[in-house]
Amino acid sequence: MREYVNRLQSLPNPTFQQIRRISNEALSHFSKSERDTFWRNLNQGVDLLDSHDLMCQYIFSYGNMHEAKIQKALSSIHKPKEVFNTDIAIVDWGCGQGLATVCFFDYLKSQGIPNNTQKVILIEPSEQALGRAKLHTNVYLNDEPKIQLVNKYLDDVEKTDIEINQSITVHFFSNILDVPQIDLKKLAQLVGENVRGEHYFFCVSPLIEGRSHRLDAFYNYFNLVNTPTVFSNLEQSENQLQFLAEDAHLKDITRKYTLKLKVFKFEKGKIYYIPIKYFTPVQFHAGYYLDCFKKERDELSLLSDFEVSAPFDIGASVYEDVNPILAVLNNIITRGLPTKASPFIETKFASFGNTSQKNDLGSIIFENKNVDTNNLQLTQSSIAIARLQKTIIEAILTEKLDIHQSQWNVLVKENDVPCAAMAF
């Protein structure tokens, strides 16, 4: 550990790649099987890092992908010299070892922009990783008083932890907004109440089914009064990254990674955030179609995107031990393609002339030869049913509703103020 610190502090012109090389060399005395064990213990970079060896392994294994994502996000800023050639504050949310901040410093140097960073706020629940982030950051700044450490989970951060007076504030959310346990509305309110000057938001994460929408949800909490300037809104399902292996006996490595990217800013002097009591809607893909539209269902697939609003944060909970029946029901409603409606739903549209017929194989088909395919009530009603059903299923999966109750009558409150009611 001491040698690692000494080598970093002796770098005359530090770069992320030099830090990565030193991290890898710090593990050079371990065997390949031991290195493989370190890699498995990273748990794909999800777990909190609590040892010197694991932190070094993380930088070697995942550092290049972090660098590529952050550099791609930063490259979306046009005329960076006009933006960043002033006093800057950085807030690195869920900073880990401070890799996003380090890559930003490299970016400033590559653009010929003086590093005028006056304050760096590093927020991280792992005390060991936070200490490493401070070390990495100070290698560049050589000015510890500029670095403020916040050893907390994001939901525990308070207004006094992120007080800033600089002209430009740069926020990094690197692989953190997709974490379902984070309350995005609470986080947006915290940031919105501390607006001074201009704020730039660099939000990156992998594409994870059921979570990638969270970057958009975070942005939507600000898109209320005025629309923030969006520099990049990108999804890439497959990127390749090739780099030289640090050990001579290893082959060059090619890694694939996914990317969800959103970069936006607040304009000076405009209001973007107002206190709100509701949660942003979440978009799903599927819903139902009626048999009378089966010939048009390819066109109706355009109508299979629907949004669900609920009095709780959809997607902010982790499902554990899901009842398989509920899992199947959830999949039917939101599996991505329009789903054939049940006989119960079809019969409710009998007033439109839908009649059931069985064929020789026992299939039930509801026909309506006189259907008007331009009838919005017919096309939209089945989607509305899916919207309601998804709200109920989500409430059960997240234990907002108890499936064992004979009836539900739920009043959801926030800060003792009724914000929504559901009665079934």
pLDDT category at 371 given cuts 50, 70, 90 is low
- Per DSSP, the residues of 393-410 read HHHHHTTSS-TTSS--EE
* Ranges of CATH 3.40.50.150 domains, the chain: 2-266
Q: What is the pLDDT of residues 395-422, one digit of tens each?
A: 888 777 888 877 776 554 444 433 333 3
If residue 340 lies in a helix (H) or strand (E), which one and from where to where?
strand 339-340
In one letter, which amino acid is 404?
A: H
* Mean pLDDT in residue range 109-128: 95
Q: What is the pLDDT of residues 140-157, one digit of tens each?
A: 999 999 999 999 999 999
**The pLDDT value given to residue 316:** 63
* Mean pLDDT in residue range 134-142: 95
**Average pLDDT of the chain to the nearest whole number:** 82
**The pLDDT value given to residue 377:** 62
73 versus 254: the higher-pLDDT residue is 73
* Mean pLDDT in residue range 44-64: 86
| Least confident residue range of 92-101, 123-132, 381-390 | 381-390
pLDDT of residue 22 exceeding 50, the answer is yes
Cα separation, 214 vs 348, in Å, equals 36
pLDDT of residue 270 exceeding 80, the answer is no
Cα separation, 173 vs 341, in Å, equals 41
Q: What is the pLDDT of residues 278-291, one digit of tens each?
A: 777 777 888 887 77
Q: Which residues contact 218 (CB under 8 A, 6 or more apart)?
A: 173, 177, 184, 187, 188, 203
**The pLDDT value given to residue 419:** 36
| Helix, strand, coil tally for the chain in percent (to 5) | 40, 20, 40
* CATH superfamily of domain region 2-266: Vaccinia Virus protein VP39 (3.40.50.150)
As given in the structure block, the two tokens for residue 48 are 């909190």
**Cα dihedral angle (281, 305, 353, 371), rounded to 10 degrees?**
140
| Least confident residue range of 44-53, 231-240, 302-311 | 302-311
**The pLDDT value given to residue 359:** 65
pLDDT of residue 386 exceeding 90, the answer is no
pLDDT of residue 423 exceeding 50, the answer is no
If residue 72 lies in a helix (H) or strand (E), which one and from where to where?
helix 52-74
pLDDT of residue 171 exceeding 80, the answer is yes
**The pLDDT value given to residue 372:** 64
pLDDT of residue 132 exceeding 90, the answer is yes
**The pLDDT value given to residue 358:** 66
Q: How far is CA 59 from CA 101, 204, 246, 369, in A?
A: 14, 17, 12, 64
> In 10 A of CB 215, how many CB atoms?
22
Start-to-end CA span in the chain (Å) = 60
pLDDT of residue 33 exceeding 50, the answer is yes
Relative orientation angle of helices 52-74 and 127-141, to the nearest 10 degrees: 60
CB 53 within 8 Å of CB 27: yes
Helix (H, G, I), strand (E, B) or coil at 192: helix
- Portion of the chain with pLDDT greater than 90, in percent: 35
**The pLDDT value given to residue 210:** 63
* Mean pLDDT in residue range 231-257: 64
| Least confident residue range of 64-73, 131-140, 240-249 | 240-249
If residue 236 lies in a helix (H) or strand (E), which one and from where to where?
strand 229-243
**The pLDDT value given to residue 73:** 95
